[in-house]
Structure 1
């Protein structure tokens, strides 16, 4: 067991600043693709652009094995919260009025991520 006190443990947190963009579906539905579909290509291209320019850290649907209402979450890199809000405003589903994007600060502090790359077959696993 670690013998450090809470102040020492807190000082060891990574404290890397990111911003969480919660993308809430304005019209939750059991068939979100019927609403989001017409803007899906633009949305995916936006995600690719954010990933390629280093803005996008993580992103995905707010879903589980039982449901997805069309909502999502993205963790982005930005100079400030105001800058993150500017980026969130450019997301195509938000611009089309299909989602409402809300920005909050999010600090990466702790966790465990394993990435397995298999170069020969060009595959990867994230655990």
Structure 2
């Protein structure tokens, strides 16, 4: 095994340099997991969704939603929220305000996420005043 094959991490600066021609948009993914089953999650779901919509209206929310089980047949209460923040500490502060977390219904982990590749397609039909996300 070569020395390069044995490397388990690379400094962020090296990744930034290697992808310098790409988007390099820093966001933060909040992974949220139930602590005591689904009962507490459902008890705080309405407050949580209001909080999420507030983040969306403020321009903080990039995307959010439930994470299905691996067989795609059920929901076990997990979710992911991606936010715009100036730092991981700021993203943690956002997550700490979520009613799911203040109530103890869920715990969370925040991971920095650098967007380099991808596409977003929006179709806007003027005549019907409708749009489609692809």
TM-score (norm: length of structure 2): 0.76
Residue in structure 2 matched with residue 4 of structure 1 by the alignment: none
In structure 1, list runs of 5 or more residues that go unmatched: 1-6
Distance (whole Å) between structure 2 residues aligned to residue 37 and residue 122 of structure 1? 36
Structure with the greater alpha carbon radius of gyration = 2
Cα drift, residue 50 of structure 1: 0.3
CA RMSD, aligned part only? 2.3
Q: Which runs of 4+ in 1 moved over 4 A?
A: 118-123
Q: How many residues are paired up? A: 117
Match of 2:78 among 62, 71, 74: 71
- Is 2:34 the counterpart of 1:25? yes
**Structure 1's 87 and 117: CA in aligned 2 closer, same or farther, altered over 3 A?**
same
Deviations 1:51-104 (A, max 9, x none): 011110010101163121011001101111111110000111111111111111
What does 1:1-127 correspond to in 2, within 5 Å?
Answer: 10-28=19-37, 32=38, 34-63=39-68, 65-118=72-125, 123-127=130-134
In structure 2, list runs of 5 or more residues that go unmatched: 1-15
TM-score (norm: length of structure 1): 0.79
Report which stretch shifted further, 50-59 or 107-116.
Answer: 107-116
Distance (whole Å) between structure 1 residues aligned to residue 28 and residue 93 of structure 2? 12
Deviations 1:6-43 (A, max 9, x none): x9972222111111100112235xxx4x4422211111
